[in-house]
Structure 1
Amino acid sequence: MKKLKGSCLCRQVSFEVADEFIFLGYCHCSECRKWTGSAFATGGMVPASALTLTAGSEVVRHYRKSVQTELVFCGQCGSSLYSRKLLVDRCIVRLGTLDDTPTRAPNVHIYCASKAPWYEIMDALPQYDELPE
């Protein structure tokens, strides 16, 4: 199994994640926009056991957004690293934090019903108003 390396902006936090993503996509929900400061978040979902912090655990911070989601970021530089989906024991890694290239590319847009009104999706990937089944 191929492992991908990732890190935060200041490089104090680093991690490894298995290149076996369940889902790779672009999320346009308002909460992801707030967390990333961008038009959308680009993420890949893996089982929580597929992600390992390799350095910097002492500067990692957690924000409990809801009963089901905890956001994980670097307390030093503020980089959004991943979110933990607590009820299903999965993580969504922010692909922009990867130092290596995943085998597959994101292939779907989700929560398009709440996308930023000033952003137009210009590719031909499938678009869903919410999370598809």
Structure 2
Amino acid sequence: MFLDLSNEAQNVDAASLRRVERIGFELPVRCKHGVVRSTVMLKDLTPYGARIDGLDKQRIGEPLTLFIPGLHAKTAYVVWSEPMSSGLEFDHPLHQSVFETLVSDFAIGHHRKAARRPVRRAA
């Protein structure tokens, strides 16, 4: 099998390779990495992972624990890292209803409106 490494193949849009769309957040969350606890900014979220800002460059594969409001501690592993920004993959994906609730409660404005559930009114 021949692997095409031409410029066209190298310029594939990374977003088109994602499993699901990233949802934008601006949510401070607590994070534990090793014995160090800190506050980081949750910048985007999918059921499978997240991007956080606020930590020095992390080692690929390093486990972190995120404390997201309304959830038990969530273990994730670093899949990419740059200075002050890291991409994480959760050890277990978020349940769809949990993910939808987080989007509804904490996502950046335009995503919150799209995810909002219908209001039930009492008779």
TM exceeding 0.5 = no
Higher relative contact order (CA 8 A, sep 6+): 1
Larger Rg: 2
TM range (shorter): 0.3 to 0.5
TM-score (normalised: structure 2): 0.34
Structure with a larger share of its residues in helix: 2
TM-score (normalised: structure 1): 0.32
